[in-house]
Chains A and B, each alone.
Chain A
Amino acid sequence: MARTAQEALQLTTLLNKKYKYFDYKWDLVFWVTALPIVAAAADITKLLFAGDWDFWTDWKDRQWWMTLTPFAMIIIPSALQYIQWLAWKFPTGFTYTAVGLWLVAWFGRWLQWDVFVNYPLNFVWPATIVPAAIFADWVLLKSRSFILTSILGGFAFTVGFWVANYITLAPYLQPAELMGRVVTVADVQGMSYIRSATPEYLRMIEHGTLRSFLEETALVSLLFGSTLATAGYWVGQAIGRWLAIWPIMRFMKKV
């Protein structure tokens, strides 16, 4: 919508207004110091809702990893998308959270899994949501609607998640022979690096008759994952609206 001359003048005046105390430092401090808690919230949500499928290459399956992980990983980006859109009309909440999560996830995998326990990083690499997050922010930018973003963005996020991470995962899905059986390279990793407190009977991948769907397996999981991601998007919206924004300048009455 075109601005009126009066609105343009108001905006220009506001833009050129001289403040005594407001300078770039407030913005810088906010964007930098909010990142640790945002990234941590995204990481703990992913870890405790779907972490097992994110920790190991041989758990990154077509049944649980690609359905549960988008749900777990969309929640906090959605909350940030609401906050940043409300405050600045920036369609950046997903990307901001994704970059923070990328930093803390890789730092954690490197220091706590590789250096501390000696698992190779090509076995414990974390999934990325950066490309998926850019898609979801783009949907909000173009649609300016949280409802459309939850549906189309949820779908774009799930598909983006799968495509972006499949590039990294594909080499580990190549066939290999181990003790006379055909397995994947990821399975060989899983058997080579002993996880004595995560034995085989705890490995939850591709249960039931999933593999009877053959080439449709990934599509079925992607569609269901998108549905879950749409639900997760609204969990994040609830967090942004009621836990972050609603409390502003609200006080409990004294008894």
Chain B
Amino acid sequence: MATRIEVDEIAPPRARYGPIDWMGGWKTCVVGSIAILVLNLVHWWYVSSHAWTAGIDASSPEFTKYFRSLVWIQLILIGAGTGLWWGWLVRTGRRIVAVKVTADEEVRRIAVFWGLVAMTSVTLYVMASFWPNQDGSWHQTAVRDTALTPPHIPMFYWWFPAGITMTVGTYLYGRYRLPKIYGAEKGFPWSFFFLIAASVTEMMQVAFNEWAHSLWILEEIFAAPFHWPFVLYGWLASGIFALWAETLIRLLGIEKEVEDAATLAKAA
């Protein structure tokens, strides 16, 4: 565990933009959210381009070429990307967690944190609304002869894991970059517990979903009871609202500290 030490203050890395400028602290929010939407549309384009020609028969060589290979590419990319990002957050975080920061820098980090929360929100939209719609249209139309159907591949083996990547990554950012809110000494926040639990249990529910389809029904009834856990687990993501509230409370604290410092300086 990192030992907290007092060294020189960290100021925002880029003086060109302020902590609450769109291209300053908010850059993560704007660029990150758009990047996820663009990536998702590219994903949709690939799947929709090949689903009806190569995705119908899971035993065909075309299916292996266009879809089974996609599963492996996705799993390798999301696994490696997640490991690298989390590892970077922890490794660099341990070095800076104990370093005192200026008010500007802490506000910039809160804005970045909100950006990560925004990216999480967009990711959860993609996994819980965008792809389930394709899941419905495909599985109520085409015959299911594999668990790795064209809509399942992007949804269950990229965007569901991406939900875990984003929720845990956002927590790691908060734990090491915003220690006054999420520092390890406070214990584990319930807000993140619910949010991370939502993404992890959704991933686990995928296994039950496939098992249940193989046991009860290969055809698709969306309101089938064995689908309901997807909804119940999804509700846990409500913890995201507590993240906005917790950081706003700290932001008010920073405003107060800045105000008090200005009053003191004036009095002196």
Contact = CB atoms under 8 A, between A and B. Distances in A.
A83 B241 contact: yes
Contact of A197 (B44, B139, B244): B139
Interface residues of A, number: 65
A21 B128 contact: no
B221 interface: yes
Contacts of A55: 136, 140, 222
B255 interface: yes
Contacts of A197: 139-144, 218-220
A6 to B, nearest CB: 22
B239 A243 contact: yes
A107 B218 CA distance: 27
Contact of A21 (B127, B129, B251): B251
Contacts of A202: 219, 221
A25 B26 contact: yes
B96 interface: no
Contacts of A244: 238-242
A88 interface: no
A47 B136 contact: yes
A251 B193 CA distance: 9
A250 B239 CA distance: 11
Given A41-B128, A112-B134, A240 B246 contact: no
A48 B107 CA distance: 40
A37 B121 contact: yes
Contacts of A79: 238
A39 interface: yes
A44 B127 CA distance: 10
A55 B222 CA distance: 10
Interface stretch (B9-17, B66-74, B77-85, B226-234): B226-234
Contacts of A52: 221-223
Contacts of A35: 121
In this complex, the interface size class of chain B, counting residues with CB under 8 Å from chain A, is 35 or more
B174 to A, nearest CB: 12
B144 A248 contact: no
Given A49-B228, A83-B241, A37 B124 contact: yes
A34 B244 CA distance: 10
A36 B125 CA distance: 5
B222 A36 contact: no
B154 to A, nearest CB: 12
B238 A49 contact: no
Nearest to B227: A48
Interface stretch (B57-65, B87-95, B182-190): B182-190
A111 interface: yes
A49 B222 CA distance: 7
Interface in A205-255: 239-240, 243-254
B189 A250 contact: yes
B165 interface: no
Interface string A192-212: 001111110010000000000
A14 to B, nearest CB: 12
Contacts of A252: 187-190, 193
Interface of A: 19-23, 25-26, 29-30, 33-37, 39-41, 43-45, 47-53, 55, 68, 79, 83, 87, 104, 107-109, 111-113, 115-117, 119, 124, 194-199, 202, 239-240, 243-254
Interface of B: 19-20, 22, 26, 29, 33, 44, 48, 51, 103, 107, 114, 117-118, 120-122, 124-125, 127-130, 132-134, 136-144, 186-191, 193-194, 218-223, 227-228, 230-231, 234-242, 244-246, 248-249, 251, 254-255, 258
